[in-house]
Amino acid sequence: MRENSQNYDDFLILADTVYHRLKHDYPNLPVMMTFQDQSYNKTKTEVLHITQSLMTYSDYMAVSTYPFWLYHQNNTNSKPDNIPSNWLTEMRDLAPQKPFVVSETGYIAEDLVIPPYQVNVQGNPEWQKIYTQKLCQKANDLNAEFICWFVYQYYDLMCQQITNPPPYFLVWKDNGMQDGDGQARPSLNVWQEWLTKNLIGNRELTLRQAQ
Tens-place pLDDT, residues 78-132: 999 999 999 999 999 999 999 999 999 999 999 999 999 899 999 999 999 999 9
Its pTM surpasses 0.85: yes
Residue 134 near residue 80, CB atoms below 8 Å: yes
Angle at which helix 186-195 crosses helix 125-141, to 10 degrees, equals 20
Instruction: Please choose, from the candidates 153, 156, 142, 207, the residue with its C-alpha nearest in 3D space to the C-alpha of residue 182.
Output: 153
Exposure string of 75-89, with b = 16+ CB inside 10 Å and e = fewer, is eeebebeebeeebbe
Domain parsing of the chain, residue ranges: 66-209
Other beta carbons within 10 Å of 50? 16
Nearest CA to 124 out of 113, 111, 137, 114 is that of 111
Look at residue 198 and tell me whether its pLDDT is greater than 80. no
CA gap 143, 92 in Å, rounded:
10
DSSP state of 183: P
Give tens-digit pLDDT for 161-172: 877 878 888 888
CA distance 130 to 124: 10
